[in-house]
Amino acid sequence: QAEEITMAHLKSAPESRGHGFDPKRSLLVLPSRQTHTMYLIAGADLTIKIADETRATYAEGAPSSKKDASLTAWEKEQVIRRFTLKGGQVGTTFLNAYTQDGRPWVEPLEIRVVDNQDCRQAEDRGKITPKLREELQALSFRDALIRVAEDQMRSAIGLSGSGGNGRYDDPGINWCGSFVHWCYAAVSGAKGVANPFGSAGGANNSLRSGIKALYAGLRDEGQFTVIRYEGPDRYGGLKKIQQLIDIGPSNPVMRGDICLPRENKGDTFPHVCMVYDPPDGSGTFTTIDGNQTGAYRPEGASPDCIGINVHDANKKWTDGKTYAFAFVHVKTI
């Protein structure tokens, strides 16, 4: 949970539902000709300025109600200014609030204006904004995967209950694994390298189900290690029996690896997600999940269709032997 801010700052207003706003990066992805309402907290005497008003403009409105449930106790004690940004030409600019003697007084808000209505920088068919492409090329493959997934999570798609339906796979399909494959494809394209899970998308992508993901890992031991699964390939007919490999220094679980939650009966894998933060010393780890409002719902998941969830890698099912999560570690990224 984010620490409470007790100084002048910017905040997305509830009516904009956070679409495109990333408080961690002080970044707003704003569609051209669309609006996003913001609060300036504790900024009574500050002057709001946008560096390039061909990219975005703002109009100040009536002050916010102090009854707004999104406000902290400290924020409710401050002057709260409410203003609406409108996207202009595609590109990047910055907003800040200045003191009377011209000093910038809040963390600058980077505004990236995009030509889609989804408030995202990575789009279909490999289209990526120049700024995000620069970021991805500077990051490791693993961190770039998370960056793309977060971009989708904070978009109008990710912050909806079912907006991902038909966006990462065919309509009506449980798209959890297809979302992970989509992120891999986006990063592979941005970096100009092969996707370790193959170029086929949609119905043919190799992460479309839990047993397809296992098959992808089992058939290419040079690229992958399947962790905490033992038994035969249950999808493609490989003539091999997987011996149990546990998490360890030689077989790590890392950011961007594939996580496969098990059902508490049989050896079925109803969901595919991506490791966000790998297991720490206590076993706590996080995943970023697409379609988390679909047929499989992670424990404690938000009502949004893409989200981050906390798990215990040490959790076992009622037989006392079977781990609740298996993994496919990608060795070549």
Domain that holds residue 220: 124-330
pLDDT at 62: 86
Residues 52 and 106 in one domain: yes
Q: pLDDT per residue over 246-263, tens digit each?
A: 999 999 999 999 999 999
Q: pLDDT per residue over 145-202, tens digit each?
A: 999 999 999 999 999 999 999 999 999 999 999 999 999 999 999 999 999 999 988 7
pLDDT classification of 2: cutoffs 50, 70, 90: low
Residues 137 and 191 in one domain: yes
Q: Which amino acid is at 22?
A: D
- Please identify, among 73, 89, 114, the residue that sits at the C-terminal boundary of a domain: 114
pLDDT at 201: 83
Residue 322 DSSP SS3: coil
We report the CATH number of the domain holding residue 63 as: 2.60.40.10
Quick check: 218 and 231 in contact, CB under 8 A? no
Determine, yes or no, domain membership for 107. Answer: yes
Estimate the crossing angle of helix 141-153 against helix 130-138, to 10 degrees: 140
DSSP 259-307: EEEPPSSTT-----EEEEE---TTSEEEEEEESTTSSS--TT--SSSEE
Residues 67 and 143 in one domain: no
Average pLDDT of span 296-321: 95
- Please identify, among 66, 83, 114, the residue that sits at the C-terminal boundary of a domain: 114
Phi-psi region of 211 (alpha: psi -120 to 50; beta: other; left: phi over 0): alpha
pLDDT at 65: 74
Residues 106 and 226 in one domain: no
- Please identify, among 114, 133, 155, the residue that sits at the C-terminal boundary of a domain: 114
What's the mean pLDDT when you consider all of the chain? Answer: 95
Using the CB atoms, write b or e for 276-299: b if 16+ within 10 Å. Answer: bebbeeeeebbbbbbbbbbebebe
Average pLDDT of span 43-68: 92
Residues 105 and 162 in one domain: no
Residues 104 and 179 in one domain: no
- What is the C-alpha separation between 48 and 307, in angstroms, rounded? 32
Determine, yes or no, domain membership for 292. Answer: yes
Residue 81 DSSP SS3: strand
Per-residue pLDDT at 266 exceeds 80: no
Residues 84 and 140 in one domain: no
Strand order in the sheet with 47-50: 21-22, 27-31, 109-114, 91-98, 47-50
Determine, yes or no, domain membership for 204. Answer: yes
Residues 272 and 191 in one domain: yes
Per-residue pLDDT at 295 exceeds 80: yes
Tokens of 268: 């079925």
Determine, yes or no, domain membership for 1. Answer: no
Quick check: 254 and 333 in contact, CB under 8 A? no
Residues 109 and 128 in one domain: no
Residues 201 and 272 in one domain: yes
pLDDT classification of 6: cutoffs 50, 70, 90: confident
Determine, yes or no, domain membership for 4. Answer: no
- What is the C-alpha separation between 1 and 223, in angstroms, rounded? 35
Average pLDDT of span 66-84: 91
Determine, yes or no, domain membership for 3. Answer: no
pLDDT at 31: 99
Per-residue pLDDT at 63 exceeds 90: no
- Please give the tally of structural domains in the chain: 2
Per-residue pLDDT at 5 exceeds 90: no
pLDDT classification of 3: cutoffs 50, 70, 90: low
Please, which residues have CB within 8 angstroms of residue 292's CB and are 6 or more apart in sequence? 176, 298, 301, 302, 304, 305, 306, 307, 309
We report the CATH number of the domain holding residue 232 as: 3.90.1720.10
Determine, yes or no, domain membership for 119. Answer: no
Residues 60 and 102 in one domain: yes
Average pLDDT of span 46-62: 97
Per-residue pLDDT at 1 exceeds 70: no
Average pLDDT of span 97-124: 97
Residues 92 and 150 in one domain: no
Tokens of 317: 């099912």
Query: What is the biggest distance separating any 2 CA atoms in the chain, rounded to whole angstroms?
Result: 74
90 backbone dihedrals φ, ψ, rounded to 5°: -60, 135
Percent of the chain with pLDDT over 70: 99
Determine, yes or no, domain membership for 43. Answer: yes
Q: pLDDT per residue over 117-136, tens digit each?
A: 999 999 998 999 999 999 99
pLDDT classification of 292: cutoffs 50, 70, 90: very high
